Amino acid sequence: MGQTVFRHRRIMVVFCLCAIFLVALTVRLGIVQLRQGDYLSDIADDYHYRGVPVAPKRGNIEDSAGNILAMSISAETVYAVPAEVRKAGDEQARRSAEALAVILDMDRDKVYEKMTKRTSIEYIKKKIAPEEAQQIRNANFPGVGITEDSERIYPNGSLAAHVLGFVGIDGQGLEGIEYSRDKELVGEAGSTQSEYGADGIKLPEAARRYQPPRNGNTVRLCIDRNIQAFAERELNKLMSGQGVNMNGSVPRSASILAMEPKSGRILAIATAPTFDPNDYQEYPNETRRNIAVQNAYEPGSTFKIITLAGALDKNIVNMNDGFFDKGSYDILGRQVRCWKAGGHGQQTMQEVVQNSCNPGFVEMGQRLKKDNFYYYLEAFGFGQKTGIEMAGEAVGILANKGKATDLDLATMSIGQTNAVTPIQLLTAVCAVANGGVLMKPQLVQEIVTPGGTAVMAFKPQEVRRVISSDASRLECEVLESVVTCGTGRRAFLPGYRVAGKTGTAQIVRDGHYVQGEYVASFVAFAPANDPKIALLCVIDGVPYYGGVVACPVVQSVMLDSLKYMNVKPDVNAPLAPTPPLPDQIFPPVKIPAVVPYVVGQTLEEATTTLEKAKLQIMTEGSGSVVLDQIPYGSAKVEEGSTVLLYLGDGEASAAPAMSDWWETEDPDIEAILSLPGRKPLGK
């Protein structure tokens, strides 16, 4: 009896344990099924499904008006699944490799190596031509497929190349905005997935899944395509030996920058020599260097704007003060000479600025003293990055303050000893022009989704106030006199108030100044009393002064830009510099013209249309049809300006009547010329 009871108890214990186990197992299965089912299903799918990535389209890069500067177009990439290739047999793999090598113009052994590599998927060649992709589809090679891809193109060729940069074969940004805004531009890849067995072979009647890619955002720049084109047009002339007063000389390099003084918005950054980002591999590495941001140079007399700004802000000079220039300034046993032999004699301080008289500016620097001078150097942003959105920005070079002597102060006052970048100098000059506030250079305007929604907008960013508004206003008036009756007369624009400063700096090589070779420059802004645009031109390696070769460049870009921006001439502005320049140096007043729309016309038709509008042409590309033009239809420019035509193959189309796009008279200029006592220049 006792044994029977014991046996029954043992059975009950075993039964209870089994029941507890089954309940626990049921609970666990419920938790797994209900809570973790989707998660575990995804893991299983990852083992069973294998996907081919589908590249997203990289976002566009646009100018401030929404004109496309960089875009992505659909392309295709050929890939192989090595497990499927091996399943078809080695003989078939070699036949496929040989045929693919012919279609793709590749080495057969290299194709075979890729097709049989021990990987889940292998790309054979990216971004192939449509006809190549179709041949591969028709051939139906075992284990070989075609997937969607995208290709980056720059429809304007080399326009703004140093700003845009370029991308690598895998679509990653390598330089310029393509690099700095890669995160916003790149988007997210999608995939095309099929079900595979444990042996890596696609299952018969396998299920397929498609995850669409998310295209990248658009980056809209502050760059204006027209102003950029005006600047690059003049650089093209310089680099081809056609620059005004260059007499066939070709500089080593040159750059032109344009900025909106009140906001810090960058309107153009043009650098020569340049490259085409569509084929950047075909150009030497040095052509891809953005010298406007990455190179430092001794600015010479353009830096005198900073010396004058500090002197006016501290009230240590009066523009009517007298100064006698004997031809040099003696300091610490050394002589800082004036560029004019024998000096300028007796002058006012305003005439010192107009004549760019070195001894006069040395006197300003000595009055300012070292501590104050260095204060303004740092306040204007020299010796530090401006923060412009470009990789590799240089900081420039400032002489060590603790070791600087009065002689160093003297040479720094006239733009020697220290080295600055073009973007630093233009940013500082804009602070003088806009009322005394240093603005951060702004290159990106906004980030926009593919659907057109702005997700990030960039507003003008004030860095600090550098000089008083009174000092700024007075200096603008003085710099305007440099253009009307000083060394900047070759940049004079009839009917417009232009302020500026010339610069000529000797080139330092191996620690010594090179004789007879200069960095010629000119910086200007207009209108002087309400600046809408500031320009800096730097030409490296020419045997001429800045007032001779850089002023005409800025004059041409400035005039076309003001017309394009619809800045009206000022009826109170002078129509001729004092004293006037010879006609062959400064051309007579011309009547502005509006650029005709010639896109779609043949080159012959476009040439006739533009010549009738009294405009010159420059072509880029090959073909007989005009695919694009800069400046664009209806843009106002000066008679005789150059229109850049992009040529290609296609069908000519009828353009709007020329009378709809240009006019022969400008009422603003005509009103000025009709005023009493006004005479066209050279008359």
* Active-site residue list: 301
Of 43, 516, 621, the residue nearest 279 (C-alpha): 621
Provide the strand spans (E) within 499-633.
499-509, 512-526, 533-542, 592-594, 616-620, 625-630
d(CA 641, CA 639): 6
> Residues 348-386, buried b or exposed e (16+ Cβ, 10 A)?
ebbbbbbbbbbbbbbbbbbebebebbbbbbebbbbbeeb
Q: Which residues are within 8 A (CB) of 432 and not within 5 positions of it... i.e. 6 or more apart?
A: 305, 306, 309, 467, 472, 475, 476, 479
- 4: its two tokens: 């029977």
d(CA 162, CA 142): 44
C-alpha distances in Å from residue 67, one per residue of 138, 218, 257, 628, 655: 39, 11, 20, 12, 20
For residue 273, whether the previous peptide bond is cis, meaning omega lies within 30 degrees of 0, is yes
Of 430, 410, 429, the residue nearest 418 (C-alpha): 410
| Three-state secondary structure call for residue 392 | coil
Q: Which residues are within 8 A (CB) of 115 and not within 5 positions of it... i.e. 6 or more apart?
A: 80, 82, 85, 93, 96, 97, 100, 122, 124, 143, 144
Q: Which residues are within 8 A (CB) of 376 and not within 5 positions of it... i.e. 6 or more apart?
A: 306, 309, 310, 313, 368, 466, 467
| Three-state secondary structure call for residue 433 | helix
Burial tier of 603 (Cβ tally within 10 Å: 0-12, 13-18, 19+): middle
Amino acid at 608: T
DSSP 8-state code for residue 660 = G
Contact 116, 85 (CB under 8 A): yes
Helices vs strands, H then E, count in the chain: 21, 28
Alpha helix ranges (H) inside 240-294: 291-294
d(CA 505, CA 542): 11
C-alpha distances in Å from residue 240, one per residue of 118, 157, 286, 552: 54, 18, 18, 16
For residue 676, whether the previous peptide bond is cis, meaning omega lies within 30 degrees of 0, is no
Contact 356, 486 (CB under 8 A): yes
For residue 130, whether the previous peptide bond is cis, meaning omega lies within 30 degrees of 0, is no
* DSSP character string of 131-155: HHHHHHHHHT-TTEEEEEEEEEE-T
Of 534, 504, 509, 533, the residue nearest 520 (C-alpha): 504
Using CA atoms of 483, 489, 495, 497 in order, give the dihedral in degrees to the nearest 10.
-10
d(CA 557, CA 601): 27
For residue 631, whether the previous peptide bond is cis, meaning omega lies within 30 degrees of 0, is yes
d(CA 527, CA 500): 11
Burial tier of 99 (Cβ tally within 10 Å: 0-12, 13-18, 19+): middle
DSSP 8-state code for residue 576 = S
